[in-house]
Amino acid sequence: MKHAWPIIKRELMGYFRSPVAYVFIFIFLVSTSGTSWYLGNFYTSNEASLELFFFFHPWLYLFLIPAVGMRLWAEERRTGTMEILLTLPISSVTAVMSKFLAAWLFMGLSLLLTFPMILTANYLGDPDSGVMVTGYIGSFLMAGAYLAITSFTSSLTKNQVISFILSFMVCLILVMLGWGVLTRTLVEIFPVWLADLITQFSFTTHFNGLRRGIIDLRDVVYFASIIVVMLYANVLVLDNSRAK
């Protein structure tokens, strides 16, 4: 951990040394609250809960998280600092985990800044605090899964735009697999058991229960598995770069 902390600190501070962090946080807060109030009709829904607030997160993360994570390794490749980082006496696992955790903490901070939605829900009624907590936990885990995918795609190229597009497409597929229209299409094409199996790989399938306050270990394991698999793939890419 003593080798990881300097990298985490460097990456985390790097966000706030430029306008990028503040612009992202502003866009994140406006988009999450805006979709809840205007698209989700939060005020007129007569529901003192944040279910509508969390409903749009899988779709918003499609654009927002690749924008945050696309620079993780692509920028290092472009500027040539990746070679310097790989010559340091740290393992690829430490390097990958450190940069990922810094970005994940940044996303967590952005998510915490949406606390006015909690205050609003409590002002309008008597919401279930447990449901709100599981919603935030589920959103944070899902953000980590998006970010792990983006970290991997960023390690494949020095072009941030390419990294953004790749991560967007992968995450879009994983979101769409649980979308109602596509699910019905899959049932028409494949046997029901196979269609159900395919939808189990969707972000929305596993996030829906958490945003409604249902804690299912399978949902937690799913997001954790995506994070572990993608970061492991990230490590393999770095190890291959070290070997060259």
pLDDT of residue 232: 95
List pLDDT tens digits, range 113-164: 999 888 888 887 788 888 899 999 999 999 999 999 999 999 998 889 999 9
Cα separation values, 34 from 10, 53, 214, Å = 32, 9, 25
Report d(CA 12, CA 51) in Å as an integer: 30
CB 68 within 8 A of CB 103: yes
Reported pTM: 0.90
The two three-digit tokens of residue 26, written as one number: 């502003």
Q: Higher pLDDT residue, 84 or 148?
A: 148
Residue 49 main-chain phi, psi, to 5 deg: -150, 170
pLDDT of residue 170: 93
Sketch the domain layout of the chain as residue ranges: 4-243
The two three-digit tokens of residue 177, written as one number: 């697999």
pLDDT of residue 40: 61
List pLDDT tens digits, range 37-72: 777 666 666 666 788 889 899 999 999 999 988 888
List pLDDT tens digits, range 169-184: 999 988 888 776 666 6
CB 77 within 8 A of CB 244: no
pLDDT of residue 48: 65
Q: Residue 66: name the closest of 141, 140, 171 by CA.
A: 171
List pLDDT tens digits, range 187-244: 677 777 677 777 788 898 889 889 888 888 999 999 999 999 999 999 998 888 766 6
Residue 224 main-chain phi, psi, to 5 deg: -65, -40
Q: Higher pLDDT residue, 75 or 98?
A: 98
Question: 3-class secondary structure for the chain?
Answer: CCCHHHHHHHHHHHHHCCHHHHHHHHHHHHHHHHHHHHHCCCCCCCCCCCHHHHHCHHHHHHHHHHHHHCHHHHHHHHHCHHHHHHHCCCCHHHHHHHHHHHHHHHHHHHHHCCHHHHHHHHHHCCCCHHHHHHHHHHHHHHHHHHHHHHHHHHHCCCCHHHHHHHHHHHHHHHHHCCCHHHHHHHHHHCCHHHHHHHHCCCHHHHHHHHHCCCCCHHHHHHHHHHHHHHHHHHHHHHHHHHHC
